[in-house]
Structure 1
Amino acid sequence: MKETCFGESVQGASHKKTGKECQDYYKKTVEKEYTILAVADGHGSNACPYSRTGAIAAVNIFHDVMGTYLEEYAGRLEQLATVLHREGEISFAKNIERSWKNRIKDIQVENSENRKKTPRNSSGAIDWAAVYKMYGCTLLGLVITKEFVFSYQMGDGDIMKVDEEVCPVVSGEHILGVETHSLSRKNAWEKAITDIKRNDIEEHLPRLYLLSTDGFSNSYANTKEFYKTCKDYYETFKEYGADAVRDNLKKWLSETSELGCGDDITLLVAYFE
């Protein structure tokens, strides 16, 4: 079985006009025993001036936390699967939130420019809730091992699986309007969604996993059109190979943003054949 993994982030068409930098970020780690994928989307509002930094911190935190679990349970993946099944939406989600907020504290204190703008309450103490909001972002994570596939979602975005069928790996909560859940909020872990399933990839080859920020799905008229696009990517992998997708991905995503919602788009894929 061969695995190919790559991604791309593009600045949204509407953001190009205003000069606003891309707020998305992604990271991948591919090892013999596991693959870790993470995608984050900074909120980008005036209230969140450092949200790209928050997104960068989020994907790194997911990799760090998941890497620690994988190291601790090396050679005992079945036991890790049991732990994540039992504690994914509590202990693991709390760990992600706590680690991200600790990282944001360090960034805020260490960056002299940011430090000048640190919000304070009426007594002069640092208002950490307001600080976290300045770095607010969503986070998607996927871990693929020989034993299991584990997914984590905080806020909007999509984690999709495509083989004979197209389906979400984890069903996120539908949120009306522009509001989304965020790592920056108090008790953010309560809104995290996790899922773990037995790895059945070898029974359904080829298979494609896609992690994308909401700018991707929001660029299509409805869920049916979005699912059709996911299937089109899968068929392109099958017919033309991974290099064809990799070489054209940035152009395709830019066109999707221009013809769609105009938001930043990040797409991270893992293809197994």
Structure 2
Amino acid sequence: MVTLGVRRWETLAESVQGVGKKRNQDWFTCQGSGSGEDPLLLAVADGHGSAAHARSEIGARIAVDRFVGRAELFARAALDCHEPGRLARLMTYARDDFPRALVQDWREAALRHWDRHRPVADAGTPEPRQSEKLLLYGTTLIGAVLTPWLFVAWQIGDGDLAVVEHDGTLTRPLAPAEEDLGDETESLCGREAWSAVRMHWAPVFDQARTPRLVVLSTDGLSKSFASADGYRQFVAGLDDRLASEGTEGVRDVLPQWLEQASKYSGDDTTLAAALRHMSTVTGGPPDVPSDIPSDVSRDTPTDILPDTPTDTPPMDTERKTET
């Protein structure tokens, strides 16, 4: 049986400002233990930072905050996903409705920030269109939820989700079929941003096959390498160091690694990672259905979560969160 209350993951995270940048446009969070009652939530966001996105560091903070609010509700619903068919409905929600709700939350929060912090305009200057306001806050986002029986992640825009499986296999499950060219990327400020959100869905039917390492990073890290192989080698090396030294040993040197990467990429560089506690992967598999299809009809009911969160925590603009 699965013990729900134990800490299942250790986390480490760091963010460094790009060389020559006026401010760090990235934001991140790591919170929760990964138990049933306290799911692990990881997220990194990368504000675009150009003149057209003058408030993108705020947009990145909003993105992480609103992801946490939605992810907490999602994880609460996942606690009760053991009934036949319920996990399939949860998958449909995660694929179709979660992105729409998240984008809507982000837009509403960004527009409220605009209303509170309107720039002084010359007399007769027309009010910017809503799309122009949102453009100022443009950001990418990668977020993940890990419970004892479910691993789900979402991504819009660039950056990387890397997963080291139980057997050492390294995958990038949300990598696009074609990499973005130059500095172009999808964004939460896009007209139909929800349609650009990619999802990774991975129920855990055997605790021994739980991924041993999950890494989220902004593109300042992957751009520091000449090829995707360089990034993969970095993650593999991180996995080796964590296996031999644990999170405390790596935590001390992680800022130096990211600073070095930032020098090569010239960009803000952020990494948030979760290392599985090997001692928690014991006993039998969780009590979840074993006949979940790999895909489900878009007509599957999706009313398992409310349309809007009623208890989303206020945005924390003072600090990044790490456990």
Cα offset, 1:40, TM superposition? 0.2
Cα offset, 1:29, TM superposition? 1.9
Cα offset, 1:207, TM superposition? 1.1
Aligned residue pairs total 263
Report the identity percentage. 29
1:267 equivalenced with 2:271 (yes/no):
yes
Contact 2:204–2:210 under 8 Å retained in 1:
no
Match of 1:116 in 2: 119
1:134 equivalenced with 2:136 (yes/no):
yes
Higher relative contact order, structure no. (Cα contacts within 8 Å, ≥ 6 residues apart): 2
| Residues 117-165 of structure 1: per-residue CA shift (max 9 Å, x gap) | 589x98x444110000000000001111111110100000000011411
Which residue identity lines up with residue 28 of structure 1 in the other structure?
A: C
Match of 1:101 in 2: 107
Contact 1:38–1:59 under 8 Å retained in 2:
yes
Match of 2:48 in 1: 43
Cα offset, 1:270, TM superposition? 0.2
Contact 2:78–2:90 under 8 Å retained in 1:
no
Which residue identity lines up with residue 135 of structure 2 in the other structure?
A: K
Match of 2:251 in 1: 246
Q: Does 260-269 or 23-32 show the bigger shift? A: 23-32
| Residues 41-92 of structure 1: per-residue CA shift (max 9 Å, x gap) | 0000010111000000000000001112223454336766423422333211
Match of 1:170 in 2: 174
Could you tell me how far apart the structure 1 residues matched to 2:128 and 2:86 are? 38
Could you tell me how far apart the structure 1 residues matched to 2:116 and 2:100 are? 24
SS in 2 for 1:230: helix
Could you tell me how far apart the structure 2 residues matched to 1:47 and 1:74 are? 42
Name the structure with the higher helix share. Answer: 1
Contact 1:170–1:195 under 8 Å retained in 2:
yes
SS in 1 for 2:267: coil
SS in 2 for 1:209: strand
Evaluate the alpha carbon distance shift between residue 66 and residue 206 of structure 1 in structure 2; reply closer, same or farther with a 3 A threshold.
closer
Unaligned runs of 5+ in 1: none
Match of 1:230 in 2: 235
Unaligned runs of 5+ in 2: 1-6, 279-323
SS in 2 for 1:227: helix
Could you tell me how far apart the structure 1 residues matched to 2:94 and 2:8 are? 28
Could you tell me how far apart the structure 1 residues matched to 2:28 and 2:158 are? 15
Name the structure with the higher strand share. Answer: 1
Cα offset, 1:185, TM superposition? 1.1
Name the larger-Rg structure.
2
Cα offset, 1:238, TM superposition? 0.5
User: Among 64, 70, 74, which residue is 1:59 paired with?
Assistant: 64
Cα offset, 1:204, TM superposition? 4.1
Q: CA RMSD in A?
A: 2.2
Match of 1:144 in 2: 146
Could you tell me how far apart the structure 1 residues matched to 2:176 and 2:14 are? 22
Could you tell me how far apart the structure 2 residues matched to 1:189 and 1:44 are? 21
